[in-house]
Amino acid sequence: MHTVTLIPGDGIGPEVTAAACEVIAAAGVAINWERVTAGAAAIDEFGTPLPQPVLASIAKNKVALKGPLTTPVAGGFPSVNVSLRKKLDLYCNLRPVQSLAGIKTRYENIDLVIIRENTEGLYGGAEFPVGPDGAVASRSITRAASRRIAEFAFEYAVQRGRKKITAVHKANILKKTDGLFLACCREVARAYPDIAYGEMIVDNLCLQLVQDPHQFDVLVLPNLYGDIVSDLCSGFVGGLGLVPGANIGRECSIFEAVHGSAPDLAGKNQANPTALILSAALMLEQLGEKEAAGRIRQAVERVLKEGTRLTPDLGGRATTAQYTEALCKALQKT
């Protein structure tokens, strides 16, 4: 029996996390879920979006499955997602973007891995008003954080048999900050002569991705570019409802979808839970439940391929609950 922290989250979070828990149970993995509240949902109860029991639970269990958390735009409380990543030092945001059987898009056979630095860059929250009509945000890039994300990317490539890493930057303009990030990637690359290494300016990367995503394998990026490029790449495989992710640190990991709390769908039983279910499969792999993780992926592909129980984002009319039920039934056949 594994004990895992569960953060249902805001918006569609409670619906998609409930679906993931059902699917894990149907795959036969026993998990003792330690449920904690964070985000907008925690403010009424605790007066803060990140109550101490959330951090304590993750620090104890080392693994969490998390629904999306809302961050108010321009004002309100700071991002709980950023705080969790920084406080627990979850320095790597890993996002595998892969085509799924049954999902037709303009792109076929996509198999990209996004490795995003998760603790610094523009996400430090260092913003200041300058007089009544100006504002400045400061961006921090360090050698330590840049080297360890580059090392993660190369080690990941070695372990997973990936062939090529592209470091993404804007060092033509941000000469000191992205310049340092790039210098660290180059240094680390020298220790891995068997992995091809390339570099690309982020605006050209966006063009190249849209024109021919197959030229890339693993992308390693500073925080903001990784965030933006993740949503772009999710479009290759059918959208945000399908792409999983993991926030990985030396001590703890939080598994969550790339998507946010989708307020437009909250409470409507229409969200696609696949992204969180595939994030849960990544979590099961880390917990040593590789066979169950594989069966969950097979069940997802089987239901998507059958195409009769698709959620509205994929052109279907099934509810979150109906799609989840179909997955649980498919798991009985795998």
8 Å CB contact between 117 and 249: no
Query: Which residues in the 309-328 window bind ligand NAI by CB under 6 A?
Result: 313
Query: Least distance to ligand NAI from the beta carbon of 247, Å?
Result: 9
Measured CA to CA, the distance from residue 85 to residue 199 in angstroms comes to 26
Task: Supply the residues annotated as catalytic.
Answer: 123, 170, 203, 227
Q: In which region does residue 70 sit, left (phi positive, over 0), alpha (psi from -120 to 50) or beta (all else)?
A: beta
81 binds ligand NAI (CB under 6 A): yes
Told to check if 229 binds ligand NAI by CB under 6 A, we report no
What does the angle CA 163 – CA 166 – CA 169 come to, to the nearest 5 degrees?
A: 170
Instruction: Select 178 or 260, whichever has its Cβ closest to ligand NAI.
Output: 260
User: Does 260 contact ligand NAI by CB under 6 A?
Assistant: yes
68 binds ligand NAI, rule: CB under 6 A: yes
Considering only 24, 145, 237, 262, the residue that binds ligand NAI (CB under 6 A) is: 262
- Closest contact distance (angstroms) between CB of 237 and ligand NAI is 13
Integer Cα distance of 188 and 266 in angstroms: 43
Q: Binding of ligand NAI at residue 83 (CB under 6 A)?
A: no
Q: Is the dihedral of CA 205, 207, 208, 213 positive or negative?
A: positive
- Which residue of this chain has its Cβ atom nearest to ligand NAI in the complex? 260
Helix/strand/coil for 27: coil
Q: Would you count residue 40 as binding ligand NAI (CB under 6 A)?
A: no
Q: Is 281 in the site for ligand NAI (CB under 6 A)?
A: no
- Minimal distance in Å, beta carbon 18 to ligand NAI? 13
Helix (H, G, I), strand (E, B) or coil at 195: coil
What's the min distance (Å) between Cβ of 73 and ligand NAI?
A: 7
Residue 240 is a binding residue for ligand NAI (CB under 6 A): yes
Amino acid at 44: D
Does 26 interact with ligand NAI (rule: CB under 6 A)? no
Mark out the alpha helices in the chain (DSSP H runs): 13-26, 40-46, 52-61, 80-87, 143-160, 177-190, 202-211, 223-234, 274-286, 290-306, 320-333
Interface contacts to ligand NAI, rule CB under 6 A:
12, 16, 68-71, 81, 240-241, 256, 259-265, 271-272, 275, 313
